[in-house]
Structure 1
Amino acid sequence: MSIRNNNNRLVNPAAAAALDKFKLEVAQELNISNDYQSGYWGNMTSRECGSVGGEMVKRMIQHYEDNVASQQQ
């Protein structure tokens, strides 16, 4: 067996609180069940967690693209 590496470290640890807040905002906007508000996501389905993560990535990419486009103008 191999030892599992955890590569889910933030590049900027100071951003952890902002990302947690962002995750809660996205979950609320997607009308995910209120179980996420406790901070424990273990009761959530994989589909719900994936929806939140996917939407977060989608919005981060959109934000980056908007910034790049505005710098090139």
Structure 2
Amino acid sequence: MARNQNQLLIPQARAALEQLKYEVAQELGIQLPADGYYGHMTTRDMGSIGGSITRRLVQLAEQQISGTR
């Protein structure tokens, strides 16, 4: 069984990332399981969610960087 060893630099960000995951899944029309068990989710769906989250986070970072320069 795999263990998630990723640690957030800012632990308070966990709730925001969870909310973002549900928002992205809803936008993509993917139903996330209510019980939190993702074992029945397809790799394609989970990859789509993760890729969209990454794109959005990169876009937010680029906006912050361009606003400070």
TM over 0.5: yes
One-letter amino acid of the counterpart of residue 65, structure 2: V
Residue 53 of structure 1: aligned partner:
50
| C-alpha contact (below 8 Å) 1:24/1:37 kept by paired residues | no
| Deviation, structure 1 residue 41 | 1.8
| Deviation, structure 1 residue 40 | 2.5
Deviation digits for residues 24-43 of structure 1, max 9, x if unmatched? 000000111x2x14132222
Find the residue that maps to 1:12 and give its secondary structure. Answer: coil
Q: Which runs of 4 or more aligned residues in structure 1 lie more than 4 Å from their structure 2 counterparts after TM superposition?
A: none
For structure 1, the residue ranges without an aligned partner over 5 or more in a row are none
| C-alpha contact (below 8 Å) 1:23/1:56 kept by paired residues | yes
Aligned identity (percent) is 43
Larger radius of gyration: 1
Deviation digits for residues 15-64 of structure 1, max 9, x if unmatched? 111110100000000111x2x14132222101100110011000000000
Choose which of 19, 22, 43 in structure 1 pairs with 2:20. Answer: 22
For structure 2, the residue ranges without an aligned partner over 5 or more in a row are none
Residue 68 of structure 1: aligned partner:
65
Find the residue that maps to 1:51 and give its secondary structure. Answer: helix
- Give 1 or 2: higher helix fraction: 1
Two-structure CA RMSD over aligned residues (Å): 1.8
Normalised by the length of structure 1, the TM-score is 0.80
| Deviation, structure 1 residue 5 | 7.3
